[in-house]
Each structure stands twice: as C-alpha cells, then as structure tokens.
Structure 1
Amino acid sequence: MSTSASPRRRSGAQFVYEELLAQIQDMRLEPGQRLHETELASALGVSRTPLREALRLLLAEDLLEQLPTGGMVVRRLSPRDAAELYAVRARLEGLVAAAAAERAEPTDVERLTAFVQRNEALAGLPEGAMESGHAIHVEIERIADHAWASRVLAQIEGQLARYRRFSNASPDRRAAALAEHRGIVEAIAAADPARAGARAEEHVLAARRATVAQLEVSLDASTGAGSSGSRLRT
C-alpha cells in the first residue's frame, strides 16, 4: 500500500474507498484477506473515520464480508458468483452492442477499429489483452449511450473486475476473444443491431465459461478451495 505524501493530502472517505476498491480489484488485497483498521489507516495516511465509512461502502457492495467477530475480510472468489455475474453482463452487453449498432457514426467505427487493432497487438500479454479488450467494451458502451444499461454495468463492475483476469489466462482464449471482438465491431459497422447484440452476448458467455473453468482450477490448487465457493460446471 502506498505511503507517499500524495494520499495524505487527499484524505477523505472517497479517496479511501477508491484506493481500497483498486486494491481489491487488482488483488493487492487478496480474496479472504482480513482487514486491520489500524494498519490500513496508517498505510493510507487517514484517520479511522473516513476509513470506516469507506469500508461500509465496500461492504454494501459485497466486496467485503463481515465476520461474526466484527472484523471484515475481502470477499472470496466464487465460481457461482462468476457464473451469475457473467450471465447478467451477457444480457447487458448484448443490449449495449445492439444500441451501438443503431447509433454508431463512421468516426465511432474508426475508433472501434483502432481499439481492436490495439487488442490484437496486445493479445499475447494477459494483462494487455484484458485491458485492451475491456477498452473495446467501454467504447461500445459510450457509443450506445444507454443510461440504464450503463448504470447496472457500473454496479457489477467492482465484482467483475476481479474475475476478468481469469478469462484471459489462456492464449487460446485470448485469440478467441480477439476474433469475437472483431465480429462485434463488424456487426456494429454494418448497422446490424440483432447480429451485434447476439455476438456480444455470445462473447461474454464464452468468457464466462473460461472464467469459471480457470477459477475452479485456481481454487483447487489453493489451500482455501473448500471455503471459496462450490464448484460449478457450465
């Protein structure tokens, strides 16, 4: 955790929330890890009051779990949670892609094509593929301008961010995801909402299968597999 002067100048519940959220999403705070208020407050350079407010927000978002003793731990990863989150995301992404196909201007298609080219250049790198692939979805969401779909996607993004890395673990899956991204963009460029929506939904469901499978392998290999969620085949 950062101990630089900058966080101290930015003390407050919002800063603490954003910093802890980032650490949960990128696994610096690991699933199942217990949080100690004194250590966190010292590391972030804040008082206990904004820290506790931020922890309450993260608890409300189900990113933390309350222990019977009153402490908190980072919510454990679960194949079941992953499957359910991706199922919801698939429907929303299909809706968003269809809306983007109805709204996209030539300049939007040019931007999407550039995003796909970047995704292709980074497909060999798990982190690069994850970030550039996610950027395509963000751009499609911008083009779609579907306020309610965006709100719901934002609500589940905190959870999805922790699982996204599992869908990019395999080179074969990264190659398949790239091809799927191309297909979605081609459908948007063709102004074909039905095809764009179907391809986006299929893409997310493929990511769901890869994520659940990879997560189960990871949990089986860890000592905490038994307490991290039931196995789920899709």
Structure 2
Amino acid sequence: MAYAPARNTGAHLVYAELKRQILSLELKPGTRIYEPAMAAALQVSRTPLREAIRRLISESLLEQQPTGGVLVPVLDAAAISELYEVRAAIESLMARGACAKATPADIETLRGIVERNAAMVKFADDAMNHGKSLHDKIAEIDGNSWSQRFHDQIASQMERYRHFTNNTQERRDRALAEHRILVEAVAADDPEKAARIAFDHVIGARDEALRAISGSSLVIT
C-alpha cells in the first residue's frame, strides 16, 4: 500500500530509527509499542512518533490491533514462505535479463563482489552484505524498473528474516558457491541457467530461514 512521504525531518528520523529496530530484531516480534515510553526513549514528542507509526503500519512493519494497541508483528512462517517465493521469481527474472545486458565491466564488478564475499564468508553480517550487493548489482544490470521496485519492497520486508538465512558456515559456503555459479552463468550469457540458479538460491534461503526459526515462540506456523 502506498504511503505519503513524511511531512518533516523529525518524523522521518523517528521512522528510520523505528524501522531499523524492527528489521534488526532489536524490537522483538510481539513487542507492544507504548507511545509515552517510546517517545521518551527516542527523545521526541508523540506527534512525529505517531506519524512514523502510521507509516510503518502501512508497510506492515507494525500491526494495529483491534483494541487500538500497536505491535511488532510476530514472525509468520506462511508469510516468510510467500515472500521468499515471490522474491525467487523476481530474482530469476532479473538474472535472466542481466545476461543479455551485462558488459565486461559489469562482469568484472560481479566477480569482484564474489571475491570479497569469499574473503569474508566466515563472518555472517559481512557475507550477508556482500550477497545483498551482488543481487543489487544484478538488478541494476537488468535495469527493469518494475522488477527493482517490487524487489526493493520485498527486500525491506525480508530484512527481519535475513539474519536467519546465513547463521551457519555451511549455509554461507553454499550461498557463496551459488553466487559463483550465478555470476558465471551471467558472464556466459546463459539466461536459463542464471534464472534457475537465482531461483533455487532464494528458495534455499527460504528453507534455511524456516528451519532456523522453527519452534520459536515468536513464530506463527
């Protein structure tokens, strides 16, 4: 659902900070937002806080309860699965498109990202960030503005789950291997292979996220 831009800098800063806390899981799923306490913690008045809360509700990053309370949404296994499936389709589409458009300079950039990923693969956050850079670069090469728009919307929602997708060394090593194959498929202008690898890579991340959060009291199954 579309939302109006924040009307002032204060509201935007409050929105950005609350969103960061939600996506990083600093605000745990299921946490209730108490306006007086949150306004005091952020050292702002309740007016920009309320504006930020409305915006986050419109993005489904906060949840309005029938009683009027506002909660950080509980992790929902069905929603996680749906988000990853849609993202897999979009990543597949973008990988296919990138094959025909990638320049030698683009391929060099993609390979450089993979090598930086390899150098930092033992570190979960760094590996995750380099993986995101790779997918963002492929989206840029493809250049489909609608794909990028939907990809960005879904990626924002999925930030809460990314921390679960690469929390083991085995998964990070496997993701790195898949990134190498994907880049070489784009370099070889092999759209079928690139699309398949991109799709399977995201589905693998979905399966890892669902496995990692299974049994958690913060998850709806």
Q: Give TM-score scaled by structure 2 length.
A: 0.92
Following TM superposition, by how much is the alpha carbon of 1:45 offset from its aligned partner in structure 2, in angstroms? 2.9
Structure 1, gaps ≥5 residues long: 1-9
Partners of 1:12 and 1:47 in 2: CA distance: 9
Displacement of 1:158 in angstroms is: 2.1
Match in the other structure for 1:171:
169
- Partner SS, residue 35 of structure 1: coil
What is the correspondence of 1:109-124 to structure 2 with a 5 Å cutoff? Answer: 109-124=107-122
2:84 to 80, 83, 86: 86
Residue 79 of structure 1 aligns with an amino acid whose one-letter code is A
Asked whether the equivalents of residues 30 and 74 of structure 1 are also in contact (C-alpha less than 8 Å), the reply is yes
CA distances 1:133-189 after superposition (whole Å, capped 9, x unpaired): 111111111111110011111212222111111110121111110000001100111
Separation of aligned partners in 2, 1:19 and 1:140? 29
Residue 22 of structure 2: aligned partner: 24
* Corresponding residue for residue 6 of structure 1: none
Aligned to 1:56: 54
Q: Which runs of 5+ in 2 are unaligned?
A: 1-7
Distance in 2, matches of 1:11 and 1:211, equals 35
Deviation at 1:43, TM superposition (A): 2.6
Listed one character per residue, the Cα deviations across residues 80-119 of structure 1 (whole Å, up to 9, x for unaligned) are: 1111110000000001111111111111111111100111
Matched residue SS, 1:116: helix
Contact 1:11 1:46 in 2 (8 A): no
Q: Structure 1-normalised TM-score?
A: 0.87
CA–CA separation in structure 2 for the residues paired with 1:13 and 1:178? 39
What residue number does 1:38 align with?
36
Taking the aligned partners of 1:24 and 1:144, their CA distance within structure 2 comes to 30
Q: 1:101-180 counterparts in 2 under 5 A?
A: 101-180=99-178
Q: Secondary structure at the match of 2:39?
A: helix
- Residue 220 of structure 2 is matched in structure 1 by 229
Q: Is the 8 A contact 1:21 1:158 kept in 2?
A: no
Instruction: Using the aligned pairs only, state the percent identity.
Output: 44
Q: Report the Cα distance in structure 2 between the residues aligned to 1:59 and 1:157, rounded to whole angstroms.
A: 17
4+ residue runs over 6 A deviation: none
3-state DSSP of counterpart to 2:71 = strand
Alpha-carbon shift at residue 11 of structure 1 (Å) = 4.6
**Deviation, structure 1 residue 22:** 1.1
- For residue 12 of structure 2, the aligned residue among 11, 14, 25 is 14
Q: Which residue of 2 aligns with 1:191?
A: 189
Aligned-residue RMSD, C-alpha:
1.4
Partner of 2:213: 215
User: What is the rounded CA distance, in whole Å, between the counterparts of 1:36 and 1:116 in structure 2?
Assistant: 43
User: How far apart, in 1, do the equivalents of 2:126 and 2:114 lie?
Assistant: 12
Name the CA distance, whole Å, in 1 between partners of 2:86 and 2:9: 35
Number of residue equivalences: 214
